[in-house]
Amino acid sequence: MFNELAIMMIMMWPAVPMFLIELHIAISFWRRIGLWTYLVIIAEWLPIGVTLLLLQGIFLSREITLGLPFLILGIVIIVMALVLHGWTAKLIGLKATIGYSELKPNTEAQNHALVTTGPFSIVRHPSYWAHAAIMLGIFFVTGVVATGIIALIDLAINYFVTTTLEDHELVDRFGDQYRQYQKSVPKFFPKVTKR
């Protein structure tokens, strides 16, 4: 059962960073093709996903026995990350969660309001934080080394690439309001302050 979870994560993982990076690098192009963007990304991801599935023997060949405490920790991390992801989706809306706000930035009044409450008051990109935490939790649950490596790659891509590109797009959309928000709220890791 855990191997199926591991290979599912390995197969599905490239779709998210591919979509977000491509979207933010060529935002004006994707805005012109609109909702077809999702079909293009699926078409790009499909051969990658199938290839990863066919290579599952290689990916699943290295496992670490982490034991029951890590299994429990992994489940707790996954559940907490899913709750965080749901919370952020509730605050910014489903369309913003799936990148529709970047594709059609002026279609809803909600897109004109910068959300800075809840988890967005702690870090600017809590959805990506939740995504990376889910990957880490899956590594703890499965013990498959490839999932641990992907979790680290995902964290690096989220921190250095995706959030940076999204910050640029949000500055374009919200201007000085977002620049001020950037100054007061950290990008990815919460500030640790003494009380």
Give domain status of residue 193, yes or no: no
Question: In which residue are the tokens 């599905």 written?
Answer: 12
Kindly report which listed range (21-25, 103-107, 171-175) carries the lowest average pLDDT score.
103-107
In this structure, what DSSP letter does residue 159 have?
A: I
Q: What is the pTM of this model?
A: 0.86
Residue 194 covered by a domain:
no
Domain range spanning residue 116?
2-184
CB 34 within 8 A of CB 42: no
> How crowded is the C-beta side of 109, counted as CA atoms within 13 Å?
0
CATH number at residue 104: 1.20.120
pLDDT in tens, 67-98: 999 999 999 999 999 999 999 999 998 888 88
